[in-house]
Amino acid sequence: MKPLNPPASATPLHRAENLLILGSGPAGYTAAIYAARANLAPVLLTGLTPGGQLTVTTEVENYPGFAEPIMGPQLMQQMRAQAERYGTIVLDDIIIRVDFAASPYGLVADSGTEFRAKAVIIATGAQARWLGIPSEEHFRGFGVSACATCDGFFFRNKRVAVIGGGNSAVEEALYLTHHAAEVILIHRRDSLRAERILQDRLMKHPKITVMWNQEVLEVIGTDAPRKVTGVKLRSISDKAHPVEQTLAVDGVFVAIGHEPATSLFRGQLPMDKGGYLLSAPDSTITAKPGIFAAGDVKDKIFRQAVTAAGMGCMAALEAEKYLAQWEG
């Protein structure tokens, strides 16, 4: 990615825009495709991870239109090219400050660019959630990861643990079998919430074992060199008599869900207690006129690429209607 900070001497650029789209996942790019085709001259800021969560996944099997699985990064490149083809301006930049007090809204980017926008579509998505234990933080990047496709390669013929029981955890575990000798899925309950088709693949895989009803207490490792050597677990199947044990592993992949990327909007837009942006029923309209929310940033239920894309489409259509009123 290009450096985001301009030289100190550079003066901030001021840009007045019709429609700014924040985020470059399926919601952002779909909003851009619809908005560009409606001649709204959208400007899309990619954020820190251009392409979003699908760029750190492997094969996507459930995005309609691809009879054969498509690789996540390739799908996102196609979406970007499609958005640009119809005139979307895509900037590799992130917004670091917003002022949604009055329209046109003020947004400041990391590059120094100051935007004024009549309408904004927020599609900033979600980020991986962490366990929140100090040892996890200590070994992050040294054996603890939240991205098997990014880091799985480093665990060739090793023994790794995956924490979680949802689709992400199962997909991470299955992916890691391409590299690791042994994968142990550690889940805090006695049943998974992952889709049945993924559960079946997991259970049948000869390299994978599942440890049920286990809580992760600590990641264990050495400091010179800094590396993971195991995890300390507490069995919680009998809550009255918890049993602790240490499992020797070389890597720990945390796959326990996601958190919406909304800290930037705190105090400016209403959100629920989980930080997800709130919008009107059956709509992407937020409490502020001309500000719309689409995709994982407002959806804690479905969180699929295809539902995010659908919401991006809704947001662009609603922005088009809003901007027509502005003109009129």
Site for ligand NAP contains 117 (CB under 6 A): no
Q: Per CB under 6 A, which region of 112-120, 203-211, 230-238, 253-261 contacts ligand NAP?
A: 253-261
Shortest reach from residue 202's CB to ligand NAP, in Å: 13
Percent of the chain as helix, strand, coil, to the nearest 5: 30, 30, 40
Q: Residue by residue, what is the 3-state secondary structure of 150-202?
A: HHHHHHCCCEEEEECCCHHHHHHHHHHCCCCCEEEEECCCCCCCCCHHHHHHH
Q: What are phi and psi of 86, to 5 degrees?
A: -95, 10
Q: Rounded distance, CA 97 to CA 289, Å?
A: 19
Determine which one of 93, 151, 250, 299 is catalytic: 151
The reply to whether 150 belongs to the active site is: yes
Binding residue for ligand NAP, selected from 10, 12, 62, 243, defined by CB under 6 A: 62
Strand order in the sheet with 251-254: 144-145, 251-254, 159-163, 182-186, 208-211
Shortest reach from residue 121's CB to ligand NAP, in Å: 21
Binding residue for ligand NAP, selected from 26, 47, 125, 164, defined by CB under 6 A: 164
Determine which one of 92, 99, 110, 147 is catalytic: 147
Determine which one of 92, 93, 110, 150 is catalytic: 150
Site for ligand NAP contains 25 (CB under 6 A): no
Binding residue for ligand NAP, selected from 165, 221, 290, 312, defined by CB under 6 A: 165
* Size of site (CB under 6 A) for ligand NAP: 18
The reply to whether 147 belongs to the active site is: yes
Which residues between 174 and 233 bind ligand NAP (CB under 6 A)? 188-189, 193
Site for ligand NAP contains 166 (CB under 6 A): yes
Binding residue for ligand NAP, selected from 125, 258, 298, 311, defined by CB under 6 A: 258
Site for ligand NAP contains 106 (CB under 6 A): no
Parallel/antiparallel/unpaired status of strands 159-163 and 258-260: unpaired
Q: Which is nearer to ligand NAP, 89 or 236 (CB)?
A: 236
SS3 label, residue 323: helix
Site for ligand NAP contains 125 (CB under 6 A): no
The reply to whether 313 belongs to the active site is: no
Site for ligand NAP contains 145 (CB under 6 A): no
**Which has the closest alpha carbon to 256: 126, 174, 167, 155?**
167
Shortest reach from residue 131's CB to ligand NAP, in Å: 5
Q: Rounded distance, CA 159 to CA 311, Å?
A: 40
Shortest reach from residue 201's CB to ligand NAP, in Å: 11
Q: What are phi and psi of 121, to 5 degrees?
A: -110, 120
Q: Rounded distance, CA 308 to CA 297, Å?
A: 9
Site for ligand NAP contains 27 (CB under 6 A): no
Residue nearest to ligand NAP (CB): 166
**Which has the closest alpha carbon to 118: 138, 140, 137, 102?**
102
Site for ligand NAP contains 149 (CB under 6 A): no
Catalytic residues: 147, 150-151
Binding site for ligand NAP (CB under 6 A): 62, 131, 163-169, 171, 188-189, 193, 256-258, 303-304
